[in-house]
Chain A
Amino acid sequence: MTTPMEQLDVAFPASLPEALALMANEATRGLPLAGGTDLMVQWESGARPVPVRAIDVKNLCELHVLRGENGMVVIGAGITHAALRRSELIRTAIPALAEAAATVGGGQIQAMGTIAGSIANASPAGDLAPTLLASEARVVVASVRGERELPLASFILGYRRIDLAPDELIVRFLVPARREGERELFRKLGPRAAQAISKIMGSYRGSVRDGVVASFAVALGSVAPTAIRLPEVERAVIGQPLNEATIARAEQVAAASVKPISDIRSTAEYRQWVSGRLVRGFLEHLAGRDAT
């Protein structure tokens, strides 16, 4: 007798059009499978049923683009965490994303897991989402009906839910590159160095002009059902002088505006506190104090 995973029927399309054609037809459609670092764990534990069919998208060359164009970085859906971590382009244009990718799981997970897989899994503890949200990334999905582009913030619908039709595949992400004068940072707090699921983490991107916060976008993970931007915090600091008073207020607003849960990884109270301290750390980083 074979296990459900051994019975899984996997299709290996040779190109994106072929994959989309398979997805278009209910009889040939399957769950998109790339690195499998989330799916296989969920199948094994029973958290998610093993589907009848999967479409292996890992080797589709259309999903492996990684290039800069017009102040935008185009990241193919199949780009792995290891590739993000190593890419000179990412490290220059979106350094927080390279940082975030380097903290995902261990070396093996980073070598297999992909950016689209991480986003499609839509876990609040996913490591890449906060940075992508803070940099206002957009996602492009495709089907035989054509392509659709939308902000990542609207693509993530809720806890483990994304705005993807049954016939669609995520094909790439469009991430604005850091502009002149913009700083950014990713920080994560987990129980140990390797292979820890985030207790809490976040990312920001911002700039200062003449001592005043000119722009500031901040997003946190593991404090709500999805990774979230903190608009109240952003409003509280943009246009304000980057001084202790502003930082202290931002810290307060951050702790008050997140509504985390208590779970086996942490209590709500601690997450609120750390949210505030993360935001403080980001603003201090923006001010040029690289204590982290």
Chain B
Amino acid sequence: MKRNFNVVNKSVRKIDSLSLATGKPMYVGDFKPADALIVKMLWSPHAHARIVSIDTSAAEQLPGVHAILHHGNVPRIVHTTAGQGFPEPSPYDTFMFDHKVRHVGDRVAAVAAETAEQAMAAVKAIKVVYEELPAVLSIEAALTPGAPVIHDEPEAHVPIPVPYEPQRNLAARVAMEVGDFEAGLKEADHALDLEYYTDYAQHCPIEPHVAMAHLAADGRVVITTSTQVPFHVRRIVAQTLDIPVRRIRVIKPRIGGGFGVKQEVLLEDVVALFALRTGRCVFWKYTREEEFVSSRTRHPEKMRVRTGVKKDGTITAMGLDCITNTGAYGSHALTVVCNSGSKILPLYRAANIHFVGESCYTNLPVGGAYRGYGATQSSFAVDCTMDELAELLGVDSLEFRRRNAITSGETSPVFRALGEGKAGVEQSIGSCELDRCITLGARAIGWRKRGRWQDKTGRFRRGIGMAALMQGSSIPEIDMGAASLKINDDGSFNLLMGATDLGTGSDTVLAQIAAETLGCDMDKIIVYSSDTDMTPFDVGAYASSTTYLSGMAVKNVAEKVAKQMLEVASAMLECKAREIRLENNRAVRRDGKSVGFGEIALRALYGTDQHQIGAVSSRISHKSPPPFSAHFAEVEVDTETGRVKVLRYVAAVDCGTAINPKLAEGQTEGGVLNGISYALTEQYLFSPKGKMLNAGFSHYKIFSMRDKPAITTILVPSYEKTGPYGAKSVSEICINGPLPAIANAIYNAVGVRMRTSPFTSEKVWRALQDKAG
């Protein structure tokens, strides 16, 4: 077990930072040729309607218009837009274009024209006759018997054997029970039955969705797209357009933020089909409004937590009933709600566990993958409940969490019971420094001095709250990562990966792992990601998998290459391979005699017994080792206006070995700020007819640097034996803390329990009014 690192666990500079900072052309939009056709979409103005007729004749005659796509002239192939492994656990309920629209902002028809203005003019000239249908605008309405059926098309189905009942708007269902839950409740000295609700939110990547397609000389379609999942894009576009995978190449350049929303195939089918029909390069970029309304969102979720606890603090029953609103399509419907259970229920020991997760269709914007992926929602419900249980018992909630939290060597029946669309994988916890995270975080925030809300006076009252968290690292026995590596004349290496850096810094992190393994400097590793023609398959950047899973593939391929280098070096140094170490870009014999990597490369490529030193490697995982974290927030509540201000925030996180500590801190701070913004301001506001009213940054507020409170990140090292150099994931867990930590802090300040997000001034004010009676 190597722990003295040369490159890993060092905050080396992000390899693309200088090019990004100096504005070098790196994003999809930077590569748009001047003569590219521009796409504009006609979006549904209705929440639920049938398209009686579409007349594009006037639009087609307008200047600059090259092609128009709609349900009458494209293949009708049912699929899912969710960029997941195959066969996907999401329902096939989507057509490229359909004769029915299911939310305001659903696709109706697309235009490709010489300019954006010409495309817009044509969009406006398309005549559509709709037959409006009654719309379903809430979870409650969706599940009412006799509710309008949103997916009444006969093709709708799930490609794997899981419950799916579109005739009653049920997009997904999962259930598990351990022990005897009801008996566990009866056994308890105290029981709680609480309801929570989390609202819609959007990822708000600064670069919205953007994709471009052109035909290569050989007639293949080349798609350049801002995606987290280039290989899934290739497969799903092939499926949707009914063309072979071999005719498609997908290139992912730099990405301006994804957060899960680009784990979705939303634009690529349209630009690809336009390129095939027109022979031209075709470019489409979402506006911010389209990003809000017609991309993907965090699933709103209703949660009911039923728990029982004995006087000695033993949890006898933990029950979680979740219903998500997946909107008009079931993208990630099953797996997000599965994760609401699987990423939080193992955290606390309970003999009797009950979980039901459901997801329902509505005529509202579509849910999808969003950093945290169901755990963000359920961490709020479960952790706030833990806070209330501790209060019932009259014990420090920190100690109560500590007493009941899972630890190293333990397992949870939930791991096996809940997978993603199938049974999960049994695992016991390897590395776990949650206890130390709690200790260090509590010290940093000043937990002991927080006092009780009953003793606080004055208009502005301060409170401290905490939350304990876990997530996973990759999807065990489903995800796969791969990399290839070859040596060049000068002893540098090409590292080709399907893993997709979204701005997260994974190219840097993975290059560090390669350099550590090869014994070379960072600047000898030339990283290329991702291109379906060039790089080996990788499922993509999601499920907190890149560092852990793709990292293992990189370590493995580097080990293979190192072995080949040792063989060449042993011939050069006239000794056995095992007598040679690779370090500082050289192969060093025990007595100190050495040859440089460049010399090894020259001999292999040009000298004796010529061959390419190189390898391809892929890895899957049989575990999903959870990172752990303890979050602490100090807030100030203005009792007059209800305004909540986060004064300080502490996130102590155990992500195993931080391959790049600065990037791990950056992930944590970014996720925390995103989470604070979600907790305090972010929400979708709808008209009575289901149209989003605040689809823009004027009225949908995300926190900026000026809103940022002091955030302290404490990296608490552990060593995950199954991960590359002891690493686990860090990217998602950090967004799950602010909702519960802030809610608990508000309670500690003013004695009101916030169970519905976001905690706007007005909502907190109303809670204070209600409390005052």
Q: State yes or no: do A and B come from one complex.
A: yes
| Interface of A toward B, CB cutoff 8 Å | 1, 3, 41, 45, 106, 189, 191-197, 199, 264-267, 270, 273-274, 277, 280-281, 291
Asked if B707 contacts A194 (CB within 8 A), the reply is yes
| Interface of B toward A, CB cutoff 8 Å | 64, 115, 117-118, 459-460, 640-641, 643, 677, 680-681, 685, 693-694, 696, 698-699, 701, 703-707, 760-762, 765-766
Q: Closest 3 A-B residue pairs measured CB to CB? A: A194-B706, A270-B762, A193-B707
Which residues of the partner chain A approach B641 to less than 8 Å between Cβ atoms?
Answer: 189, 274, 277
Asked if B693 contacts A191 (CB within 8 A), the reply is no
CA distance A280 to B640 in the complex (A): 10
Asked if B765 contacts A192 (CB within 8 A), the reply is no
Which residues of the partner chain B approach A265 to less than 8 Å between Cβ atoms?
Answer: 699
15 contacts between A and B (CB under 8 A): A1-B117, A189-B643, A192-B701, A192-B704, A193-B707, A194-B704, A194-B705, A199-B761, A264-B693, A265-B699, A266-B762, A267-B762, A270-B762, A274-B641, A277-B640
Q: A1-B115, A193-B706, A281-B640 are in contact. Are A264 and B762 (CB under 8 A)?
A: no
Asked if B765 contacts A270 (CB within 8 A), the reply is yes
Asked if B761 contacts A191 (CB within 8 A), the reply is yes
CA distance A1 to B114 in the complex (A): 9
CA distance A1 to B115 in the complex (A): 7
CA distance A264 to B696 in the complex (A): 12
Given contacts A191-B680, A194-B705, A277-B640, 11 further A-B contacts (CB under 8 A): A1-B117, A189-B643, A191-B761, A192-B681, A192-B703, A192-B707, A194-B704, A274-B641, A280-B640, A281-B640, A291-B459
Which residues of the partner chain B approach A291 to less than 8 Å between Cβ atoms?
Answer: 459-460
Q: CB within 8 A of B699: which of A106, A193, A264?
A: A264
Which residues of the partner chain A approach B707 to less than 8 Å between Cβ atoms?
Answer: 192-194
Which residues of the partner chain A approach B765 to less than 8 Å between Cβ atoms?
Answer: 270, 273
CA distance A203 to B597 in the complex (A): 72
Which residues of the partner chain B approach A280 to less than 8 Å between Cβ atoms?
Answer: 640
How many Å from the CB of B760 to the closest CB on chain A?
A: 7
Q: CB within 8 A of B760: which of A191, A194, A195, A281?
A: A191
* Least CB separation from B639: chain A residue: A277
CA distance A266 to B681 in the complex (A): 12
How many Å from the CB of A81 to the closest CB on chain B?
A: 15
CA distance A93 to B720 in the complex (A): 64
Which residues of the partner chain A approach B703 to less than 8 Å between Cβ atoms?
Answer: 192
CA distance A45 to B288 in the complex (A): 12
Q: CB within 8 A of B681: which of A45, A191, A197?
A: A191
Which residues of the partner chain A approach B704 to less than 8 Å between Cβ atoms?
Answer: 106, 192, 194-195
* Least CB separation from B766: chain A residue: A270
Asked if A106 contacts B706 (CB within 8 A), the reply is yes
Asked if A264 contacts B761 (CB within 8 A), the reply is no
Asked if B117 contacts A3 (CB within 8 A), the reply is yes
Which residues of the partner chain A approach B680 to less than 8 Å between Cβ atoms?
Answer: 191-192
Which residues of the partner chain B approach A193 to less than 8 Å between Cβ atoms?
Answer: 706-707
Which residues of the partner chain A approach B701 to less than 8 Å between Cβ atoms?
Answer: 191-192, 196
CA distance A13 to B706 in the complex (A): 37
CA distance A189 to B762 in the complex (A): 11
Which residues of the partner chain B approach A267 to less than 8 Å between Cβ atoms?
Answer: 762
Q: CB within 8 A of B694: which of A1, A3, A196, A264?
A: A264
Which residues of the partner chain B approach A41 to less than 8 Å between Cβ atoms?
Answer: 698
* Least CB separation from A270: chain B residue: B762
Which residues of the partner chain B approach A199 to less than 8 Å between Cβ atoms?
Answer: 761
How many Å from the CB of A278 to the closest CB on chain B?
A: 9
Which residues of the partner chain A approach B706 to less than 8 Å between Cβ atoms?
Answer: 106, 193-195
How many Å from the CB of B685 to the closest CB on chain A?
A: 5
Asked if A197 contacts B762 (CB within 8 A), the reply is no
CA distance A110 to B766 in the complex (A): 34
* Least CB separation from B117: chain A residue: A1
Which residues of the partner chain B approach A106 to less than 8 Å between Cβ atoms?
Answer: 704, 706
* Least CB separation from B693: chain A residue: A264
Which residues of the partner chain A approach B115 to less than 8 Å between Cβ atoms?
Answer: 1
Which residues of the partner chain A approach B643 to less than 8 Å between Cβ atoms?
Answer: 189
How many Å from the CB of B281 to the closest CB on chain A?
A: 18
CA distance A26 to B377 in the complex (A): 60
Asked if B761 contacts A189 (CB within 8 A), the reply is yes
CA distance A45 to B762 in the complex (A): 28
Which residues of the partner chain B approach A194 to less than 8 Å between Cβ atoms?
Answer: 704-707
CA distance A106 to B705 in the complex (A): 11
Asked if A197 contacts B459 (CB within 8 A), the reply is no
* Least CB separation from A267: chain B residue: B762
* Least CB separation from B698: chain A residue: A197
Interface centre among B705, B760, B762 (most CB of A within 10 A): B762
How many Å from the CB of A272 to the closest CB on chain B?
A: 12
CA distance A193 to B677 in the complex (A): 11
How many Å from the CB of B289 to the closest CB on chain A?
A: 9
Which residues of the partner chain A approach B460 to less than 8 Å between Cβ atoms?
Answer: 291
* Least CB separation from B676: chain A residue: A192
How many Å from the CB of B684 to the closest CB on chain A?
A: 11
Interface centre among A41, A194, A267 (most CB of B within 10 A): A194
Which residues of the partner chain A approach B696 to less than 8 Å between Cβ atoms?
Answer: 45
CA distance A106 to B706 in the complex (A): 9
Which residues of the partner chain B approach A197 to less than 8 Å between Cβ atoms?
Answer: 698-699
Which residues of the partner chain A approach B762 to less than 8 Å between Cβ atoms?
Answer: 266-267, 270
* Least CB separation from A274: chain B residue: B641
How many Å from the CB of A109 to the closest CB on chain B?
A: 12
How many Å from the CB of B147 to the closest CB on chain A?
A: 27
* Least CB separation from B118: chain A residue: A1
CA distance A274 to B766 in the complex (A): 12
* Least CB separation from A195: chain B residue: B704
